[in-house]
Chains A and B, each alone.
Chain A
């Protein structure tokens, strides 16, 4: 191979250390969820499921979990529909300044620090009296979800063979049937991937929620955010376990369907 630098022990060692660095905190947080002690001692003195029971038995936590799921679901559905349409629209625009400007506008929320967006939205929603409401939170999450979906679907569209849509047209498919029957199925995996990321983003969001949520709507991350402040005990570990495991499942399924290496550009 190319000088075998990628097999060099120093390199490989660094890589292993990095992986350990990335995974260690998550592993520890997960393990603590099973602790029998109410204190954050690691390694935990004993094994217990008390924190899971506490979490699942707490109506406020369950309510916040439900809120998070509902909001994330809504954001995913709306974000995917709007994002796919936007990607389609952008793709059909002729190349030029107009396309560049609109493209830039649609994708700019991804480039800015979330805190700037959260603050701007916070001040705006305060004015229109939507602060702390369900709608406000969905809107905030869509601000990231829509560009995210648009970006991923646009990337998928750019890999398509243009002759295929021309062939469909020559066989009698009008623009909308062409899109629905020929274009969309080909980018299905990109759409699913984007939808998953949108869902995860919304479900996990802390920044937007911290600024504009809270009053009427408690999401799970927000509840945890406050919990850390006042009650630091292994319960958060239990919740972490649930989060980490669901993330793991997502990672594995995502890799099966889409393939992380292909997503990132590694050809083999």
Chain B
């Protein structure tokens, strides 16, 4: 009903592309995170959907309406800004009721609905305060209430929790998720924090350098990253350089450096033959006897104690690897010395083949 279709969107600034041709679809009612580092184009994309930026080419359709040429004030979207953008000269109530006022709703109804929205975000009683009298977290909630009270088709959130401290951020993440569940509207959430994206979203869209790299539910993005960038951006990942080759009987095998050979089954990556990288998470590597087959031989460089984990940094198979061993008390006996050669084993199902890092 109010799915968002983005087709062929592009944008450049003075010859430099901010968004490469972009196509995808946001499902009605889903919580979608757009995740990427700064400069990835995620904020550009959001502001384009909101109407603050006009695309050079392409179309944006919300519900059944093509909105690319509509100014922001006619798109009926709720926007929550990173710096809250509350009207400093208006009370909390007037802030929240502003959108209703623009829609010509009478004073009594405005006040009632605004008070309801404030109650929803847990700020009843704050109606007459001024923004400058509120803490960051409270201001953020007012911004939220202001955006949802107009009952928009879609809620756009531009790194709304960026300015809050860690504890508050974690609490707000949960509250936002609950709000989403309650309102059942589409949420598009821009962030650079991968943990945040993984925690809150139905789907995550990963962007880098203006390109959309992958759109999938969090578990899939994490376990089956499609490119080296995605693998590295979400969680830590070791990347081993090598080649993807076909075997005589039609299977595929990954040939890495220093004699590493890994036979692959289907579903471990969608990369063509030729140069590629093998991605494996640090927590999926373990120490195995030195003579085991299909293990990575590596020389230990550093051993770091990280509380619940023990981190080993080693060099092998042409890459610097990190291994995370669970600290179960017994590991200390097995901790290798610096300079020792160890063998690192893994389950075949835990590795992915991705594009070679450029």
Residues of A within 8 A of B (CB): 161, 163-164, 166-174, 177-178, 181-182, 185-186, 188
**Contact across chains for B89 and A171 when beta carbons are under 8 A apart:** no
Q: Spot the interface stretch: B31-39, B74-82, B225-233, B341-349.
A: B74-82
30 residue pairs A–B, Cβ–Cβ below 8 Å: A163-B81, A164-B85, A164-B86, A166-B81, A167-B79, A167-B81, A167-B85, A167-B86, A167-B87, A167-B146, A168-B87, A169-B51, A169-B52, A169-B72, A169-B73, A170-B51, A170-B73, A170-B77, A170-B147, A171-B98, A171-B99, A171-B146, A171-B150, A173-B73, A174-B73, A178-B73, A181-B98, A185-B89, A186-B88, A188-B89
Complex alpha-carbon distance, A166 and B71, angstroms: 11
A-B complex: 7 closest residue pairs judged by Cβ atoms:
A172-B102, A171-B99, A163-B85, A167-B85, A170-B79, A169-B72, A185-B89
Complex alpha-carbon distance, A168 and B22, angstroms: 28
Decide yes or no: A170 and B72 within 8 Å by CB, A177-B102, A186-B89 being known contacts.
yes
**Contact across chains for A164 and B87 when beta carbons are under 8 A apart:** yes
One digit per residue, 1 when the CB lies within 8 angstroms of any chain A CB and 0 when it does not, for chain B 49-84 equals 011100000000000000000011111111101111
Closest to A162 in B: B85
**Contact across chains for A161 and B85 when beta carbons are under 8 A apart:** yes
Contacts of B52 in A (CB 8 A): 166, 169
Complex alpha-carbon distance, A167 and B144, angstroms: 11
Give the residue among A161, A167, A181 with the most B Cβ atoms within 10 A.
A167
**Contact across chains for B150 and A172 when beta carbons are under 8 A apart:** yes
**Contact across chains for B87 and A182 when beta carbons are under 8 A apart:** yes
Give 8 A-B pairs besides A163-B83, A167-B86, A167-B87 with Cβ atoms closer than 8 angstroms: A169-B73, A170-B73, A173-B73, A174-B71, A181-B98, A182-B87, A185-B89, A186-B88
Interface of A is mostly: helix
- Asked whether B171 is an interface residue with its Cβ less than 8 Å from the other chain, the reply is no
- Asked whether B107 is an interface residue with its Cβ less than 8 Å from the other chain, the reply is no
Complex alpha-carbon distance, A65 and B74, angstroms: 53
Cβ of B132 to closest chain A Cβ, rounded Å: 12
- Asked whether B167 is an interface residue with its Cβ less than 8 Å from the other chain, the reply is no
Contacts of A167 in B (CB 8 A): 79, 81, 85-87, 143, 146
Q: Which of A166, A172, A181 contacts B85 (CB 8 A)?
A: A166
Complex alpha-carbon distance, A170 and B221, angstroms: 32
Complex alpha-carbon distance, A172 and B88, angstroms: 18
Contacts of A163 in B (CB 8 A): 81-85
Contacts of B79 in A (CB 8 A): 166-167, 170
Closest to B81 in A: A163
Contacts of B102 in A (CB 8 A): 171-173, 177
Contacts of A164 in B (CB 8 A): 85-88
Complex alpha-carbon distance, A214 and B73, angstroms: 53
How many B residues have CB within 8 A of the partner chain? Answer: 30
Contacts of B146 in A (CB 8 A): 167, 171
Complex alpha-carbon distance, A255 and B103, angstroms: 40
Cβ of A231 to closest chain B Cβ, rounded Å: 52
Contacts of B89 in A (CB 8 A): 185-186, 188
Contacts of B50 in A (CB 8 A): 166, 170
One digit per residue, 1 when the CB lies within 8 angstroms of any chain A CB and 0 when it does not, for chain B 288-327 equals 0000000000000000000000000000000000000000
Contacts of A188 in B (CB 8 A): 89
Contacts of A168 in B (CB 8 A): 87, 98
Cβ of A193 to closest chain B Cβ, rounded Å: 16
Closest to B97 in A: A171
Q: In residues 138-187 of chain B, which contact A (Cβ within 8 Å)?
A: 143, 146-147, 150
Closest to B80 in A: A167
Complex alpha-carbon distance, A181 and B101, angstroms: 11
Contacts of A169 in B (CB 8 A): 51-52, 71-73
Q: Which of B72, B88, B99 contacts A166 (CB 8 A)?
A: B72
Complex alpha-carbon distance, A131 and B233, angstroms: 75
Contacts of A177 in B (CB 8 A): 102
Complex alpha-carbon distance, A173 and B146, angstroms: 14
Closest to B75 in A: A170
Closest to B83 in A: A163
**Contact across chains for B77 and A161 when beta carbons are under 8 A apart:** no
Contacts of A185 in B (CB 8 A): 89-90
Cβ of B223 to closest chain A Cβ, rounded Å: 37
Contacts of A166 in B (CB 8 A): 50, 52, 72, 79, 81, 85
Cβ of A173 to closest chain B Cβ, rounded Å: 5
**Contact across chains for B78 and A172 when beta carbons are under 8 A apart:** no
Decide yes or no: A170 and B78 within 8 Å by CB, A161-B83, A186-B89 being known contacts.
yes
Contacts of A170 in B (CB 8 A): 50-51, 72-73, 75, 77-79, 147
Contacts of A161 in B (CB 8 A): 83, 85
Contacts of B72 in A (CB 8 A): 166, 169-170
Complex alpha-carbon distance, A174 and B72, angstroms: 9
Complex alpha-carbon distance, A161 and B75, angstroms: 22
Complex alpha-carbon distance, A163 and B50, angstroms: 12
**Contact across chains for A172 and B99 when beta carbons are under 8 A apart:** yes
Cβ of A97 to closest chain B Cβ, rounded Å: 16
Complex alpha-carbon distance, A172 and B75, angstroms: 8
Complex alpha-carbon distance, A181 and B102, angstroms: 11
Complex alpha-carbon distance, A170 and B158, angstroms: 13
Complex alpha-carbon distance, A171 and B152, angstroms: 9
Cβ of A52 to closest chain B Cβ, rounded Å: 43
Contacts of B71 in A (CB 8 A): 169, 174
Closest to A178 in B: B73
**Contact across chains for B103 and A172 when beta carbons are under 8 A apart:** yes
Contacts of B85 in A (CB 8 A): 161, 163-164, 166-167
